[in-house]
Amino acid sequence: DAKTTQPNSMESNEEEPVHLPCNHSTISGTDYIHWYRQLPSQGPEYVIHGLTSNVNNRMASLAIAEDRKSSTLILHRATLRDAAVYYCILRSRTQGGSEKLVFGKGTKLTVNP
């Protein structure tokens, strides 16, 4: 499985932008980059995904490097509710057609009031 590398933890202040980096140097041409986040004692929640172009949605923006070996999740104005573990995941399709989602260690984001 392709792997991703993220910092273990990051801190931000409320209402400031947050840039969460992810390295995925072994990404293949058909892998999509997905981001999920997990609040304590809850299941993960989908945030955003992309292939090559930058993506925006109501939760966040995803900036993808031109060589696709890294990406950055951008929270434009962090709130206390954004404190969570953020996972950057490559969505791979196996030979059998299933689409496993393999989680790395993620980045624990702390938002200070």
Residues that bind another protein (CB under 8 A): 32, 34, 36, 38, 41-46, 49, 87, 91, 93, 96, 98-106
Contacts 24+ apart (CB under 8 A), 63-68: 64/33, 68/24, 68/27, 68/33
- Least Å distance between CB 32 and another protein? 5
Q: Considering the complex, state which of residue 21 and residue 104 has its C-beta at the smaller distance from another protein.
A: 104
Spatial CA neighbour of 21 closest among 59, 57, 66, 75: 75
Output 67 or 95, the one with its CB closest to another protein. Answer: 95
* Least Cβ distance, residue 97 to another protein (angstroms): 9
Sign of CA dihedral 55, 101, 65, 38: positive
Plot region of 15 (φ>0 → left; ψ -120 to 50 → alpha; else → beta): left
CB of 16 to another protein, least distance (A): 26
| Least spacing, CB of residue 15 vs another protein, in Å | 26
**Which is closer to another protein, CB of 28 or CB of 103?**
103
6 vs 70 by CB, closer to another protein: 6
Residue 81's SS3 state is helix
Tell me the two tokens of residue 47.
């945030």
